[in-house]
Structure 1
Amino acid sequence: MADNNSVNNVFLQRPNDRMIIVQILVIIFLCINMLLILTFIKKESFHTSARYILFSVTLLSDSLLLFVSDILVILTYFQFTIPVWLCIILTIFVVMYTFVTPVTLTAMTLERYVAICMPLRHGQLCSTRSTMYCILIIHVLSSAPCIIILSMFFAFASLKFYKQSMICSVEAFTLYRWQDHVRSAVFQFYFLIMGITIAYSYVQIMKVAKAASGDKKKLTHKGLKTVILHAFQLLLCLIQLWCPFIETAVLQIDFRLFINVRYSNYIMFSIAPRCLSPLIYGLRDENFFLLFYCKKRKPLYI
């Protein structure tokens, strides 16, 4: 693992342009997310649709993750130390909501699978009540990796550690290298299961698409495109888990190259995946545009 002091100094290198770029990107996408969330709240018909409810969950989780992670970046930039207990709270939010979006994407894929492959049962399986239970299950599943990481930390950290102040990062709670391996194993197990689920849904929808005709064929192909976009976003989230290993290898070669790789990874695999939901779904769905352009069109999203 890379030296923590070196990692924490990444954003101190060429601070002005890099911090400005990060803050501009975060502000832009937070504004877009908030606009779409307000649109969801304003449109009552969205409140009874499973796909829109789950979409709003991704918007909220992405916004919260962007906001909290940006706070950590700013704290690192100014080299502010905070109490360990506060860092634990921030870490809980970061780790849990790192998983909420990909797990929700998997649930959205299953909703499309039910809508296309099991249309007669869609109303029952994807009712508003079932969707609320699904959101609860999503958060329970997403909290499990956080519980595992912090349990390993609590088991081996000394009492003196809790009384200290520190520059907050998730890596600070990894006291031994084997803990890092356990964390990586848990993360990759989750994404393996989600990847298999999305691949299975894609194959089943593909079978229906080949047998369909007319309007149903068009709708099915749009469903396939949505599943592919889910898989692409999930892939970006998975690459984020590999970044620490890549950065550690690069650090052994050249520290300046490590700084550039670390910065690029943060933009491409931390910020970018959390900003794809509004671009993929919000801009593809004309139901959202109806509120802005006041034109009646058939929804493109499926």
Structure 2
Amino acid sequence: MANSTALHSNITQVSVDSNKNIESLRMAYLILLVLCFCIFLYFLTIILSVYFTTAHIRENTRYVLFVYMLINDTLYLVLGFFLVVFNIYVINLPVPLCIVLVILSLTSFMATPYYLAVMSLERYVAICYPLRHAQLCTPQRSHAAIAIIWAVGFSPCVADFIALSSSVETKYFSLSGICGRPMLIKTPMQNNMRYITIIFSFTMVGLIIVYTYIRIMLIARKLSSNKSSAFKAGKTVILHAFQLLLCMSAFTSHFTETYLKDYFAFFPITNFLLLMCLPRFLSPFIYGIRDEVLRKYIIKWHSFAITLG
């Protein structure tokens, strides 16, 4: 009897220690995520300061699209972070609030590849039609393109909400639960619409990026002057393709969480950090620090911030 009690006590202690280790690792992941997010916000603040205080940058279509893509990614990261924390610590939210958060999160998630496509098209016009670039790519048209991006990203969410509303009773919207897309999926049609939208969107964006890259490289081979600008534009489009691939890796999270969550207790937060956040954390470095004009201002603002500190 004493041996049985001791064995039970040991098992209980191991279970407690295991839970403590899991909680410690989960907290370490959250701290790492917050640190990465702080670094991202630091560079975002500098880039926004440069953008809103420098007239010729604010009038450049390339920088308009880049800055609004960063703002879009920041919105997605903030919403995604809170949703992950709510899921980890089992915090229930009212269904209406959850719907708003999920729609904003999904819309900003889908908007990122659209920004990459429009930015690739801007580089395509700049190299292939340089005489018409100033006419075609204006700040006003950039803002119109941004509005279209959000409208296109928002449309599937509207269709999804209509499908949800038609399949549940009114009292469903007065309930609370763990907020996430699974909570809002009530019919197979919703999943089908989501997969069709994602596949179509990323295929079209991929084709646009490939087309613009091929056209830019063909022009670069023909140019006798300004060849370096064309090759630099080609490299930028390749970076768009690289970031698109990183964004597409997010779709593997559903399968990895389904089949590996029993072996890895904090798999959701790992997926969120590596597959959702990483492509967006890289944006200020890929497009901001790499750009000669922005890099000069970023260094200047960074030095100014250190002086103030």
TM-score normalised according to structure 1 size: 0.86
Task: Compute the displacement of 1:77 (Å).
Answer: 3.0
- AA in 1 matched with 2:71: L
**What SS is found at the alignment partner of 2:263?**
helix
**What SS is found at the alignment partner of 1:256?**
coil
Task: Compute the displacement of 1:123 (Å).
Answer: 1.1
Which range is displaced more, 58-67 or 69-78? 69-78
Task: Compute the displacement of 1:23 (Å).
Answer: 1.9
Q: Distance in 2 between matches of 1:190 and 1:45?
A: 33
* Correspondence list, 1:1-302, <5 A: 14-214=25-225, 216-251=226-261, 255-257=262-264, 259=265, 261-293=267-299
Q: Distance in 2 between matches of 1:79 and 1:263?
A: 14
Q: Distance in 1 between matches of 2:106 and 2:175?
A: 22
Give deviations 1:117-143, integer Å, cap 9, x for gaps: 111111111012221211111111111
Relative to structure 1, the CA distance from residue 277 to residue 204 in structure 2 (aligned partners, 3 Å threshold; closer, same or farther) is same
Q: Distance in 2 between matches of 1:110 and 1:292?
A: 26
Give deviations 1:261-297, integer Å, cap 9, x for gaps: 5343211210011112201111111222333555xxx
Relative to structure 1, the CA distance from residue 133 to residue 178 in structure 2 (aligned partners, 3 Å threshold; closer, same or farther) is closer
- AA in 1 matched with 2:126: A
- In terms of Rg, which structure is larger? 2
Relative to structure 1, the CA distance from residue 149 to residue 31 in structure 2 (aligned partners, 3 Å threshold; closer, same or farther) is farther
Report if aligned partners of 2:289, 2:298 keep a CA contact under 8 Å in 1: no
RMSD over equivalenced CA pairs, Å: 2.0
- 1:297 aligns with none
- 1:6 aligns with none
Give deviations 1:176-212, integer Å, cap 9, x for gaps: 3442233112111111111111111111111101112
Q: Distance in 2 between matches of 1:233 and 1:224?
A: 14
Relative to structure 1, the CA distance from residue 267 to residue 209 in structure 2 (aligned partners, 3 Å threshold; closer, same or farther) is same
- AA in 2 matched with 1:285: D
Task: Compute the displacement of 1:52 (Å).
Answer: 0.5
Report if aligned partners of 1:188, 1:238 keep a CA contact under 8 Å in 2: no
Report if aligned partners of 1:50, 1:126 keep a CA contact under 8 Å in 2: yes
Q: Which runs of 4+ in 1 moved over 6 A?
A: none
Q: Distance in 2 between matches of 1:178 and 1:13?
A: 40
Relative to structure 1, the CA distance from residue 25 to residue 138 in structure 2 (aligned partners, 3 Å threshold; closer, same or farther) is same
Report if aligned partners of 1:115, 1:122 keep a CA contact under 8 Å in 2: yes
Q: Distance in 1 between matches of 2:123 and 2:298?
A: 26
Q: What percentage of residue pairs aligned between the two structures are identical?
A: 33
Q: Distance in 2 between matches of 1:154 and 1:267?
A: 32
Task: Compute the displacement of 1:243 (Å).
Answer: 2.1
TM-score normalised according to structure 2 size: 0.84
Task: Compute the displacement of 1:32 (Å).
Answer: 1.9
Q: Distance in 1 between matches of 2:180 and 2:161?
A: 13
Report if aligned partners of 1:184, 1:241 keep a CA contact under 8 Å in 2: no
Relative to structure 1, the CA distance from residue 12 to residue 76 in structure 2 (aligned partners, 3 Å threshold; closer, same or farther) is farther
Give deviations 1:149-174, integer Å, cap 9, x for gaps: 22221221222221111111122111
Give deviations 1:92-133, integer Å, cap 9, x for gaps: 210110022211111000000000011111111101222121
Q: Distance in 1 between matches of 2:26 and 2:142?
A: 44
Task: Compute the displacement of 1:12 (Å).
Answer: 6.0
